């Protein structure tokens, strides 16, 4: 990590930290005071999005439905498939809570980042002890992307939107498979809500 001067905050992001078994102990060994921000979204949507990303690189992969099940007739979900496994947030969080108190972690709703980016980033700024500088006036909603974009990036006069890998159209998934996944994730989601003290509303 770069040297951090007095009054500076050093940040680093890697999505795979949350699901990498060795990461909590390593980060704790580096600094027990590290503040951790975890962005989560509905695990069913997350799995479909993960699949969509892979499909764009490898169009010949099997269907989402066939990858989801170990056995379709019994409805047994294949938890070894990373697209499914990553969304079992409660399981991953258990490892982190062995090294960090839950108060040192902020769980950001991916859905609210889209519907209310300034509000969700307000929580981030509060958590980091920063003055609330980012407000609604910094964003506009891009209909093509389906995401909010920054009106202009730092040091640029042009608006800044997420790259072309974000906001891809998801393939049509069999509603029965989506329903089965909702049932599968429900107990894990409820446990995650209890662990974080926050109901993300994924089970509505």
Q: Which residues are annotated as a binding site?
A: 41, 49, 166-170
| 84 burial type by CB count under 10 A (0-12 exposed, 13-18 middle, 19+ buried) | buried
Write out the binding residues for 3'-phosphoadenylyl sulfate.
41, 49, 166-170
d(CA 70, CA 155): 50
Q: How far is CA 120 from CA 63, 64, 204, in A?
A: 34, 31, 21
| Phi then psi dihedrals of residue 54, to 5 deg | -65, -40
The contacts of residue 87 (CB under 8 Å, 6+ apart) are 43, 44, 46, 47, 185, 188
Q: Tell me the sheet residues that pair with 69.
A: 77
CA 24 vs CA 18, 40, 132: distances in Å? 8, 17, 29
In DSSP terms, 142 is beta-bridged to 147
148, 114 contact by CB (below 8 A): yes
Count, residues in the chain: 204
């Amino acid at each position: 990590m770069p040297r951090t001067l007095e009054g500076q905050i050093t940040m680093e992001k890697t999505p795979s930290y949350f699901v990498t078994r060795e990461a909590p102990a390593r980060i704790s060994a580096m600094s027990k005071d590290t503040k951790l921000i975890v962005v989560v979204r509905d695990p069913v949507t997350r799995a479909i999005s993960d699949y969509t990303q892979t499909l764009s690189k490898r169009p010949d992969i099997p269907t989402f439905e066939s990858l989801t099940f170990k056995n379709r007739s019994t409805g047994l979900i294949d938890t070894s498939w990373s697209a499914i496994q990553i969304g079992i947030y409660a399981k991953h969080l258990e490892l982190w809570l062995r090294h960090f108190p839950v108060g040192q972690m902020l769980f950001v709703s991916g859905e609210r980042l889209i519907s209310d980016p300034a509000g969700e980033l307000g929580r981030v700024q509060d958590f980091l002890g920063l003055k609330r500088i980012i407000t609604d006036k910094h964003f506009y909603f891009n209909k093509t992307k389906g995401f909010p974009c920054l009106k202009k990036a730092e040091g640029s006069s042009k608006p800044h939107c997420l790259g072309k890998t974000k906001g891809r159209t998801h393939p049509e998934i069999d509603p029965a498979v989506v329903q089965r996944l909702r049932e599968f994730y429900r107990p894990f989601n409820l446990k995650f809500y209890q662990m974080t003290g926050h109901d993300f509303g994924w089970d509505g």
